[in-house]
Amino acid sequence: MCTAATYKTKDFYMGRTLDYEFSYGDEVTVTPRNYPINFRFMGVRNNHFAMIGMAHVADDYPLYYEAFNEKGLGMAGLNFVDNAAYSEPDLRGLNGESNIENVAVFEFIPWILSQCATVDEAKERLQFINLTNTQFNEMFPCANLHWIIADKESCITVESMSDGLHIYDNPVGVLTNNPPFNIQMFNLNNYMGLSAKQPESNFSDRLDFNRYSRGMGALGLPGDLSSQSRFVKVAFTKMNSVSGDDEKSSVSQFFHILGSVDQQRGCCQLDDDKYEITIYTCCCNTTKGIYYYTSYDNHQICAVDMHKENLDGDKLVRYPLITDGEIRAVN
Amino acid sequence: MCTAATYKTKDFYMGRTLDYEFSYGDEVTVTPRNYPINFRFMGVRNNHFAMIGMAHVADDYPLYYEAFNEKGLGMAGLNFVDNAAYSEPDLRGLNGESNIENVAVFEFIPWILSQCATVDEAKERLQFINLTNTQFNEMFPCANLHWIIADKESCITVESMSDGLHIYDNPVGVLTNNPPFNIQMFNLNNYMGLSAKQPESNFSDRLDFNRYSRGMGALGLPGDLSSQSRFVKVAFTKMNSVSGDDEKSSVSQFFHILGSVDQQRGCCQLDDDKYEITIYTCCCNTTKGIYYYTSYDNHQICAVDMHKENLDGDKLVRYPLITDGEIRAVN
Amino acid sequence: MCTAATYKTKDFYMGRTLDYEFSYGDEVTVTPRNYPINFRFMGVRNNHFAMIGMAHVADDYPLYYEAFNEKGLGMAGLNFVDNAAYSEPDLRGLNGESNIENVAVFEFIPWILSQCATVDEAKERLQFINLTNTQFNEMFPCANLHWIIADKESCITVESMSDGLHIYDNPVGVLTNNPPFNIQMFNLNNYMGLSAKQPESNFSDRLDFNRYSRGMGALGLPGDLSSQSRFVKVAFTKMNSVSGDDEKSSVSQFFHILGSVDQQRGCCQLDDDKYEITIYTCCCNTTKGIYYYTSYDNHQICAVDMHKENLDGDKLVRYPLITDGEIRAVN
Amino acid sequence: MCTAATYKTKDFYMGRTLDYEFSYGDEVTVTPRNYPINFRFMGVRNNHFAMIGMAHVADDYPLYYEAFNEKGLGMAGLNFVDNAAYSEPDLRGLNGESNIENVAVFEFIPWILSQCATVDEAKERLQFINLTNTQFNEMFPCANLHWIIADKESCITVESMSDGLHIYDNPVGVLTNNPPFNIQMFNLNNYMGLSAKQPESNFSDRLDFNRYSRGMGALGLPGDLSSQSRFVKVAFTKMNSVSGDDEKSSVSQFFHILGSVDQQRGCCQLDDDKYEITIYTCCCNTTKGIYYYTSYDNHQICAVDMHKENLDGDKLVRYPLITDGEIRAVN
């Protein structure tokens, strides 16, 4: 389905893969500060933080899969099928009888990123939120999602389930899909003994063991594409990552981290004989506002720099996903 | 350490990762038809098939890690530490008393690729070979290697061990490192039930199971970087791969296949606190003689086309590995 | 720690292992119908269902680890460290201002088994319960437990946690220890593809696989002694069990089921260099009221038949655990 | 199929499970010193070491599954389907032209145990052996077997394959079935990091892990019934075993060791809907000549003491396997 991760060197990086069997038509979309954001229940916001991310744009509205604002706060929505549950709009909030803020699920990312500069501010905002099951239009049913929100200091996961809204600290800075985040974190305990170093001879001190390969300390790390296995694999890769702290090294390493859970066409077959693949992988330097991405057949890293756009504008700036890779001819 | 794979669509593709903690200085090297190849025990070969591949060039001699000749035969050497064993030169062969062909380990790839157009021809040649422990020079001890040799019809693995030379049919078309190939293939039996499709409820028909994620049919697939685990992972990825059969799709898919066993810096820590990483990944269209590659920090696919060079020349043509990635600026 | 299971043939069987590093002094204890049970907050119950089970008897009070009543209802408490949470006594219940029933944790088994004939009746009772953190005496801190309650028709798990009392249907009829039951059941999904039959060739239809051993369909079944692994292993063994439905066959099979998660001395080492072992394994034919058990060094099945005692008595009947095995000399 | 193990405390113990879907009719059989053993190619041996073990007796001949002689040497044959290969009788040996000793496979155990007091003596004998494919009679095809031979000092495995006779030192003192022993030992390397103690936090020092259960250090230990998994499981159990060194404690612990790979009816289903189960488990104190066993439905340990028989006799002494368990009534 999808995998998100954060990574910190000199700057802070956050990104995700989007894994699916087809694309809705995706564009790297910059929402400048003066693009009027119409919220279904919360009025219009005419001036706000600028943001950049991948979106399906419908009726000039950016339906973001993930985005990052100019203050360095990032947020990504990942599939959470069978677990996500949203509410009806709360009338007290609508009538001004309470401070409940009704926010349609498809508005959640712009709602937070347009006004919150940090995770702490987002947590503050989340105290009042009522995520509603309001559809964008008749064609687009509500996506079943949960979210990762991060800045350079901290990271949280937000899950709206039938028993209410859960906000978890996310110390590992990764998110995939099912099961709910607390179970994912619990499951990680089963892998605590795995190591990037060679294993000790714990089995018995009366047998001679042969470290016949490098990398045997992580034997037991899962390599299938299910969401729980991807959580463990990417967590291990990210927590053990080593790279230079300059931009090129950091970005390159980030794509290696998410590459560890790349979904290859053919390895995840759906019931209708379609295949889920990693449609795109992105990495945003949230400090500098540069959005990097690759797509399944475009292995070269592409970059869209939000600060090269007029962030004081009032129109969306859209760059369609480059799906066709340029090969660099050496001779 | 390393992983090699083959892939067939309309054309035939073969490639490998080279995983190590440092680089010797690698160059994509074309050996044209009239470059005189001096063999230590077998004389000079002045006219031969042209070949392309990654090599460390020393004293104008191409020490190939892997190469592919103009007839479509490819060959790659992969680490085989503690198992590889080579012989002293056989005097009867040297004296012409037998048809034994003494070939130094570092000459093995040019020896085969300079004269064999197919795997069958290579097998013929291997009947006479005596792989010798002759060093290239005092500085370069013999690498401990085993080899994969493939054309579009078939694939074999060659292992020179203390009990002699083993030549195995390689039906899966992949090779990693230890253990020996027959044990790798045997181990694959333990994964025969894994599937790219969702699993059946075999555990019990009296319990309801929840396929809570896509991709659960391959639960149990290993994801660590040890050589046996990489063999299983890349075999599963390759055998289940689905792609278009045009050049761009095939090449892109190939890099996804080998990407499934990418070694990320930090995840395989050596005793001296160095890290093994995937220094480069290559994919050769052996039908067309185009050598594609990426390197750890250069995610864009680069291409060297042997047919753009003068293959009737007598000088090596060398292109240093591009290690610095160009990012494509979209705005 | 411990494992409990149910098994149904002609009669209904339920039992458990008790795994620990030492024994408190355990006795198979029959509580006859007229033994006065003093509840701390709920008065004395002078006439009640008779029950049998393993208990540590203190001050003539049976601190049951598990018990089974004459109506065929069984209940076992298993360690639930770090998750179990009990309440203070509820004053409204004490004052008769509500129908809350305050029951000390150590009284929970007699509370239910003394008055409930079925799981349905137990569920009815559980609506009113407030499990209190009241200690039996100063020496015995409250055990951190969760419970399995079963009759021949159904089975539930009861967990008192910091967020309240959870009552789960238990379709698999097994219980071990951590994590909470809902996570245990979720985790079982990861094993749904395992089979008592040989595996299909799902990995690839272009490779020949060798079913080199019987029993390969369950490759991936865990064999360590952690509580989550024991849950999976015993669930698989129980759900796939096949036996005759007579008493001897059923009882023998039941001991094989729990034998699958036997804890051997040495394999689970604690921090203080003690070892957790399976101190005893029991199996009660709840239909007939016969309590069978073995102990670590007594492999022969021993039987205590509650109906051989005067069930109308008012005194506990106690048979110390036989820990020393009799070997049957054939010659 | 089967599992064999050795165990040493004050005395030396050796035993095995016999796992199969039916029984041929098995008897604990003592072969006294003067029972004439007729070898097909090697004449009659009238005086020899006495031995005890489980056998199917046909035409007054003990077809031993395993046996132990009065000198403390033990030997067990375990299924080795598709790998075992035996030879035709060697004529030079028959004609006295060489010192080759032709021994039919069904004679192998009495051949060794009748004359060898130690593993070293057995190794000496094995230098001359030619294991022949001679059938006992038309009804009994040659069993496909490999063997474990052990005394209190050392242990070896003997495998007759198409490429000849292999004799391996067996440092772990266990044997199951396929694959060949060298691959089983190699596979054990993959489990070297597993521990009877709790795991360290090797995954990351920046995450807090919860050792939520005892016994988590061995997570990854296999629990299915395939022969390679049983090898790992019983090796771990045996190598970590802790017990008293007296007879009762040692024997009890031994049955726990082999109990770790007990095959429960239902968990290993064959193609014809039969089930493989552990028909019997035995443990011989080879020092004292006492043969202990349990059977699937007889959980009590039974004992046959060879020294209670007239070991100078010339007739087989036979005790049919007790398959019906006696339950010890406590009240």
pLDDT in tens, C170-198: 999 999 999 999 999 999 999 999 999 99
Please tell me the distance in Å from A205's CA to the nearest CA on chain C: 14
Three-state SS at D196: coil
**Domain-embedded: residue B216:** no
Indicate the Cα dihedral angle A271, A274, A278, A280, nearest 10°.
-130
Name subunits touching C (3+ CB pairs < 8 A): A, B, D
CB contact under 8 A, B215 and A178: no
pLDDT at B279: 98
User: What mean pLDDT do residues D207-230 have?
Assistant: 98
Tokens standing for residue A115: 């006004």
pLDDT in tens, B278-307: 999 999 999 999 999 999 999 999 999 999
Residues of D in contact with B179 (CB under 8 A): 186
B223 touches chain D (CB under 8 A): no
pLDDT at D166: 98
Q: Concatenated DSSP letters for B116-170?
A: -SSHHHHHHHHTSEEEE---SBTTBPPP-EEEEEE-SS-EEEEEEETTEEEEEE-
Burial annotation A54-66 (CB, 10 A radius, 16+ → b, else e): bbbbeeebbbbbb
Tokens standing for residue D1: 């199929």
B99 touches chain C (CB under 8 A): no
User: What mean pLDDT do residues C157-167 have?
Assistant: 97
pLDDT at B273: 86
CATH number at residue C101: 3.60.60.10
Integer-rounded Cα Rg, in Å, for chain D is: 21
CB contact under 8 A, C219 and B172: no
**Domain-embedded: residue B206:** no
pLDDT in tens, B223-234: 999 999 999 999
**Domain-embedded: residue B209:** no
C183 touches chain D (CB under 8 A): no
- What rounded mean pLDDT belongs to chain A? 97
In this complex, how many residue pairs, one in chain B and one in chain C, have their CB atoms less than 8 Å apart?
104
- What rounded mean pLDDT belongs to chain C? 97
Nearest to B203 among C191, C204, C209 (CB): C191
**Domain-embedded: residue C325:** no
- CA B178, CA D26: separation in Å to the nearest integer? 44
Task: Bin C273: left if φ > 0, else alpha if -120 < ψ < 50, else beta.
Answer: left
CB contact under 8 A, C202 and B208: no
Q: What is the end-to-end Cα distance of chain D in Å, rounded?
A: 39
Residue of D nearest to A206 (CA): D239
Q: Does residue A229 contact residue C220 with C-beta atoms inside 8 Å? A: no
What's phi and psi for B44, nearest 5 deg? -105, 140
User: What mean pLDDT do residues C282-290 have?
Assistant: 98
B321 touches chain A (CB under 8 A): no
Q: Does residue A157 contact residue A167 with C-beta atoms inside 8 Å? A: yes
CB contact under 8 A, B179 and D190: no
**Domain-embedded: residue A199:** no
Residues of C in contact with D248 (CB under 8 A): 297, 324-325, 327
Percent pLDDT > 70 in chain D is 100
Local confidence band at D203 (pLDDT 50, 70, 90 cut-offs): very high
Local confidence band at B91 (pLDDT 50, 70, 90 cut-offs): confident
Q: Residue A81 CA to chain centroid, in angstroms?
A: 16
Local confidence band at A91 (pLDDT 50, 70, 90 cut-offs): confident
C224 touches chain A (CB under 8 A): no
- What rounded mean pLDDT belongs to chain B? 97
DSSP state of D237: H
pLDDT in tens, A110-139: 999 999 999 999 999 999 999 999 999 999
**Domain-embedded: residue B66:** yes
User: What mean pLDDT do residues B98-113 have?
Assistant: 97
pLDDT in tens, B24-57: 899 999 999 999 999 999 999 999 999 999 999 9
pLDDT in tens, A191-225: 999 999 999 999 999 999 999 999 999 999 999 99
- CA C45, CA C107: separation in Å to the nearest integer? 12
A81 touches chain C (CB under 8 A): no
Place of tokens 């060297």: B304
User: Containing H/E element for B58?
Assistant: strand B51-58
- CA B317, CA B309: separation in Å to the nearest integer? 8
A242 touches chain B (CB under 8 A): yes
State yes or no: pLDDT of A272 exceeds 90.
no
pLDDT at D247: 97
pLDDT at C93: 77
Mutate which: C264, C276, C316, C326, vs D, most D CBs within 10 A: C264
Q: Structural domain of residue B109, as residue ranges? A: 2-187+241-320
Percent pLDDT > 90 in chain A is 96
Local confidence band at D271 (pLDDT 50, 70, 90 cut-offs): confident
**Domain-embedded: residue A259:** yes
Q: Comparing A89-98, B244-253, C38-47, C233-242, which segment has the lowest mean pLDDT?
A: A89-98
State yes or no: pLDDT of C316 exceeds 80.
yes
pLDDT in tens, D65-114: 999 999 999 999 999 999 999 999 998 878 888 899 999 999 999 999 99
Local confidence band at B271 (pLDDT 50, 70, 90 cut-offs): confident
pLDDT at C271: 87
pLDDT in tens, C198-215: 999 999 999 999 999 999
Three-state SS at B42: coil
**So what's the ipTM on this one?**
0.97
**Domain-embedded: residue B226:** no
Number of domains chain B contains = 1
Local confidence band at C322 (pLDDT 50, 70, 90 cut-offs): very high
Residues of C in contact with B174 (CB under 8 A): none
CB contact under 8 A, B179 and D186: yes
Q: Reply yes or no on whether D2 is catalytic.
A: yes
Q: What is the end-to-end Cα distance of chain A in Å, rounded?
A: 39
D89 touches chain B (CB under 8 A): no
Nearest to D190 among A194, A197, A219 (CB): A219
Residue of B nearest to C204 (CA): B239
pLDDT at B163: 95
pLDDT at B65: 98
**Max Cα–Cα distance, chain A, nearest Å:** 75
CB contact under 8 A, B194 and A224: yes
* Cis peptide upstream of residue B36 (ω within 30 degrees of 0): no
Tokens standing for residue C134: 């009241």
- What rounded mean pLDDT belongs to chain D? 97
Local confidence band at B97 (pLDDT 50, 70, 90 cut-offs): confident
- CA C283, CA C258: separation in Å to the nearest integer? 9
CB contact under 8 A, C195 and B203: yes
C189 touches chain B (CB under 8 A): yes
Tokens standing for residue C99: 């129908």
State yes or no: pLDDT of B208 exceeds 80.
yes
Q: Residue B287 CA to chain centroid, in angstroms?
A: 17
Mutate which: A174, A200, A211, A213, vs B, most B CBs within 10 A: A213
Residues of A in contact with D220 (CB under 8 A): 219-220
Percent pLDDT > 70 in chain C is 100
